[in-house]
């Protein structure tokens, strides 16, 4: 007789190296929630980052996870999980933990279990936090050797910021992330400034739900949805506004939905970015399965921490490597 699954979850805090600033504020630590599902002497792990932007807190996420012990004891599996919980951070942690457990139980790597291509080493973006143009230029200059940089902008003065960053990194490909901070009055001017600076992609310039202007203007460079896109169901309504979508496991509610979402986004003609929150390698590892479908990979979360968890992903110069089985999958 198969033993029932036991769930253990907890909140973890990981100091950030310095400060991480976007248009919504600054933080000095990453607060993650870990889920561990054990069965038959094996343990599957998953990590999530509750996001206040979507009304999530670590404490509420932990409570939601703890409430899933009874369904797991009754035989809830990963497929049933997709309807038993809504998309979001809690389901992400549990979905990834169940996938890790499935792989360990089968004695296979998770991509073989799922019938997906094995992930390969790939270039990841590196994020420059929002600050004054001078401070952002100085931070950029230190990493100007990296081929792909993601620049956090925040509203007033963004033209000067992006110009300063471009001067500091003349050879790097630049992604700009406004985190919903632009307005209908500044949108076209800021997009032009980005185009003039040779920016490759602009992420979420307008607030989600207030982005209809993107369908009515000529976009001088590709625009990517982040806060406006969550799961597969949100994709069709974005086709006239965005050229790309940022898939994050914490938004989608796990790798299971994120894989379906990536397939659907490709079918609709979107370019794909694989993104992350500031978190440890345990959050990044499942997202590596999506990188072969991605035009842009932004999995630099552990690089922004003062320290990663033991056995984390290998980052070598600009490259991130697939996880070892001991970490995940």
The catalytic residue positions are 152, 248
Number of helices and strands in the chain (H, E): 11, 14
C-alpha distance from residue 46 to each of 65, 89, 161, 246 (Å): 11, 10, 37, 20
Position of tokens 């310095």? 18
* Cβ–Cβ < 8 Å for 192, 220: yes
Q: Is 254 left (phi over 0), alpha (psi -120 to 50) or beta?
A: left
Task: Give the whole-angstrom CA distance, residue 243 versus residue 225.
Answer: 8
Task: Give the whole-angstrom CA distance, residue 329 versus residue 323.
Answer: 8
Find the helix or strand (DSSP H, E) in which 319 lies: strand 319-320
Position of tokens 């990663």? 308
Sign of the alpha-carbon dihedral angle for 167, 170, 172, 177: positive
C-alpha distance from residue 16 to each of 149, 302, 305, 316, 318 (Å): 19, 9, 4, 20, 20
Give residues with Cβ within 8 angstroms of 302, minimum separation 6: 279, 280, 281, 284, 308, 312, 313, 315
Q: Is 247 left (phi over 0), alpha (psi -120 to 50) or beta?
A: beta
* Cβ–Cβ < 8 Å for 251, 229: yes
Token pair of 254 as six digits: 């796990």
Task: Give the whole-angstrom CA distance, residue 270 versus residue 272.
Answer: 6
């Amino acid at each position: 007789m198969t033993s029932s699954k036991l769930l253990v979850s907890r909140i973890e805090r990981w100091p950030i190296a310095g400060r991480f600033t976007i248009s919504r504020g600054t933080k000095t630590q990453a607060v993650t929630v870990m889920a561990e599902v054990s069965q038959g002497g094996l343990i599957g792990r998953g990590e999530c980052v509750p996001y206040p932007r979507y009304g999530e807190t670590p404490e509420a996420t932990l409570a939601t996870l703890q409430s899933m012990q009874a369904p797991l004891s009754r035989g809830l599996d990963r497929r049933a999980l997709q309807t038993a919980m809504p998309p979001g951070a809690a389901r992400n942690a549990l979905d990834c933990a169940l996938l890790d457990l499935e792989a360990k139980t089968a004695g296979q790597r998770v991509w073989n279990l799922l019938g997906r291509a094995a992930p390969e080493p790939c270039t990841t973006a590196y994020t420059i936090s929002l600050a004054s143009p001078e401070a952002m230029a100085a931070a950029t200059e230190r990493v100007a050797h990296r081929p792909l940089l993601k620049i956090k902008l925040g509203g007033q003065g963004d033209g000067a910021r992006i110009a300063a960053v471009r001067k500091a990194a003349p050879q790097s490909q630049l992604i700009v992330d406004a985190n919903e901070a632009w307005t209908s009055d500044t949108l076209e001017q800021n997009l032009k400034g980005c185009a003039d600076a040779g920016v490759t992609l602009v992420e979420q310039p307008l607030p989600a739900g207030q982005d209809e202007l993107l369908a009515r203007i000529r976009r001088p460079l590709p625009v990517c949805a982040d806060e406006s896109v969550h799961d597969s169901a949100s994709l069709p309504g974005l086709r006239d506004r965005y050229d790309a979508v940022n898939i994050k496991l914490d938004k989608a509610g796990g790798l299971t939905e994120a894989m379906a979402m990536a397939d659907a986004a490709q079918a609709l003609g979107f370019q794909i970015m694989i993104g992350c929150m500031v978190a440890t390698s345990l959050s990044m590892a499942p997202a590596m399965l999506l990188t072969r479908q991605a035009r842009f990979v932004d999995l630099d979360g552990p690089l922004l921490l003062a320290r990663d968890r033991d056995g984390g992903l290998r980052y070598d110069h600009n490259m991130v490597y697939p996880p070892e089985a001991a970490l995940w999958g």
